[in-house]
Chain A
């Protein structure tokens, strides 16, 4: 497939056909201790935080970059009106669980939306990953890495498994 037609097809693909499912994404419950979260973030770019594994109700996300606020002492931040949420994520400031440090308002996308919608959203809000949700339930994720893999698969240039 040439690049142009591959991209056209790629942009119109539904998120539900591309996303990583709940079994393959990093998920912790909101009462998980921060040390366990840090262990996951040694190898992952982010962790989803859910209320419990049965309901998979999405609570928030902890990104790799959020670890900076977790590790910094709280007094490095300035406590000013409109700037109080970050210092509260500090381990030394008393944060103990995933729920304490997670960013609660998560950018989401529906399974029926397209790859183009996801890309536009990622560009607009400068994020690399979006939660795929059904109502409040986390059903998967769509990340730039997944999208790159999918495009390479369409172009059949990613690796031997895609040439079949």
Chain B
């Protein structure tokens, strides 16, 4: 009885603080998720530092802190990840993915694999085993385009070639970041794992792609309240169960269900309902829960700081080099003569810098890697600390770097505006002179 009371209390306080934290951080034009994580961190450390007994706030995990209800909180957080990915996929524009041009494609692939490989080897150098190091590399793969879009909009360059390519690349980038985590958490031989992956994508991506339409028609014929929503969520959980069973990565199932559903107008019409459940309850709880996993005492040991420094460096440098070089090498489809030009260099650098921010997918991959056993329990606190640090650094440095990279375009736009203003004043003066002369 009492445990339920405190679980409900923790859920309530988490949601309220999540929304307040989100709002505060958004005022500084930073991703609100940082505010949710921060609130979680405060809540969690009230327990870790012994100020509140664990059973009053059963959202923290770890030895000595887990209670009877911790598993329920963990499950709710997991549902949050599932809804986040389902919603992300449902919001995807498949047509845009199909139109991804050569520059966006090459730069995305390099922008994913360069930080992955760099991170993998860097972590192995630090002494982590190959599987754990690979999982660390996967955390660095997926860009969170939201912040870049916002900054590019503010700078008035979103409609530029770089802006369009960045947007186009972001869809594929998320897709790869989410898919790669399978290789980190998947077990068994490489052949067995590969066969499972092929079978999974055949079932959920190819066969279901053709069947989803009939399924939704069937759901429509049931004529029950929220029948389509219930049937869609039901199938999403079945896919998630399949992915959890095969790869310990339920998110893959949710993502594939969202992706296939996104092609149907009926699927898109479910977004408001799914958003209400997701962003109204489960997703903020997931972020608070993740923040609460950061035990600040982890910084007593230098391992966490070293890992954070390495992951942050690789996250930034790897993306700029990977995506930037990927864009540069294609010369933006303008032929070889454009390759060594100053413009190609700057456009590619802009593309690289725009891909630095990481938020949601990095956290999702982190949680999947921890729960899937790819990151060992004893290393989980330092990975959580390092991930939260590289996420924070990545979102803080991107806006000034983007402003610097686009300074020429901004100055040109400013000069054009000034010239327009001067021209308007000249025309007005001319008109007044004409009126005075009685013409």
Residues of A within 8 A of B (CB): 74-75, 78-85, 87-88, 90, 92-94, 96, 103-108, 120-121, 124-127
Query: Given the interface contacts A81-B361, A87-B149, does A94 sit within 8 Å of B158 by beta carbon?
Result: yes
Task: Name the A residues within 8 Å of B29 (CB-CB).
Answer: 75
Distance between Cα atoms of A96 and B263 in the complex (Å):
24
Closest 5 CB pairs of A and B: A79-B146, A82-B87, A105-B265, A94-B159, A81-B88
Task: Name the A residues within 8 Å of B271 (CB-CB).
Answer: 82
A93 to chain B, nearest CB (A): 5
Residue B31 lies at the interface, judged by CB distance under 8 Å to chain A: yes
Distance between Cα atoms of A125 and B266 in the complex (Å):
7
Whether the Cβ atoms of A81 and B144 lie closer than 8 Å is yes
Whether the Cβ atoms of A84 and B91 lie closer than 8 Å is yes
Residue of A nearest to B278 (CB): A82
Task: Name the B residues within 8 Å of A87 (CB-CB).
Answer: 149-150, 153
- Among A81, A104, A125, contact of B87 (Cβ-Cβ < 8 Å): A81
Whether the Cβ atoms of B32 and A78 lie closer than 8 Å is yes
Distance between Cα atoms of A81 and B177 in the complex (Å):
13
A151 to chain B, nearest CB (A): 22
Residue B181 lies at the interface, judged by CB distance under 8 Å to chain A: no
Q: How large is the interface on B (under 10, 10 to 19, 20 to 34, 35 or more residues)?
A: 35 or more
Residue of B nearest to A82 (CB): B87
Residue B7 lies at the interface, judged by CB distance under 8 Å to chain A: no
Residue B268 lies at the interface, judged by CB distance under 8 Å to chain A: yes
Whether the Cβ atoms of B268 and A105 lie closer than 8 Å is yes
Main DSSP-derived SS at the A contact region: loop
Residue of B nearest to A92 (CB): B153
Residues of B within 8 A of A (CB): 26, 29, 31-33, 84-85, 87-88, 90-91, 93, 95, 144-147, 149-150, 153-154, 156, 158-159, 163, 167, 174, 220, 223, 228, 262-269, 271, 275, 278-279, 360-361
Whether the Cβ atoms of A82 and B90 lie closer than 8 Å is yes
Whether the Cβ atoms of B268 and A103 lie closer than 8 Å is yes
B132 to chain A, nearest CB (A): 26
Whether the Cβ atoms of B275 and A82 lie closer than 8 Å is yes
Residue of B nearest to A61 (CB): B265
Distance between Cα atoms of A33 and B315 in the complex (Å):
40
Query: Given the interface contacts A80-B32, A94-B158, A124-B228, does A85 sit within 8 Å of B149 by beta carbon?
Result: no
- 25 residue pairs of the A-B complex, CB under 8 angstroms, read A78-B32, A79-B146, A79-B147, A79-B149, A80-B31, A80-B146, A80-B360, A81-B88, A81-B146, A82-B87, A82-B91, A82-B271, A82-B278, A83-B91, A85-B93, A87-B149, A87-B153, A92-B153, A93-B158, A94-B159, A104-B93, A105-B262, A105-B268, A108-B265, A124-B228
Task: Name the B residues within 8 Å of A74 (CB-CB).
Answer: 149-150, 153
B422 to chain A, nearest CB (A): 24
Task: Name the A residues within 8 Å of B266 (CB-CB).
Answer: 107, 125
Which residue, B29, B156, B158, B271, has most C-beta atoms of chain A within 10 A? B158
Distance between Cα atoms of A79 and B32 in the complex (Å):
9
Query: Given the interface contacts A93-B158, A103-B268, A107-B266, does A78 sit within 8 Å of B275 by beta carbon?
Result: no
A94 to chain B, nearest CB (A): 4
Distance between Cα atoms of A74 and B29 in the complex (Å):
12
Distance between Cα atoms of A124 and B228 in the complex (Å):
9
- Among A79, A94, A121, A127, contact of B150 (Cβ-Cβ < 8 Å): A79
Residue of A nearest to B226 (CB): A124
Whether the Cβ atoms of A84 and B146 lie closer than 8 Å is yes
Query: Given the interface contacts A82-B84, A104-B93, A124-B228, does A96 sit within 8 Å of B150 by beta carbon?
Result: no
Whether the Cβ atoms of B146 and A105 lie closer than 8 Å is no
Residue of B nearest to A86 (CB): B91
Task: Name the B residues within 8 Å of A94 (CB-CB).
Answer: 153, 156, 158-159, 163
Whether the Cβ atoms of A78 and B158 lie closer than 8 Å is no
Task: Name the A residues within 8 Å of B32 (CB-CB).
Answer: 78, 80
Residue of B nearest to A74 (CB): B153
- Among B84, B159, B269, contact of A125 (Cβ-Cβ < 8 Å): B269
Distance between Cα atoms of A19 and B32 in the complex (Å):
46
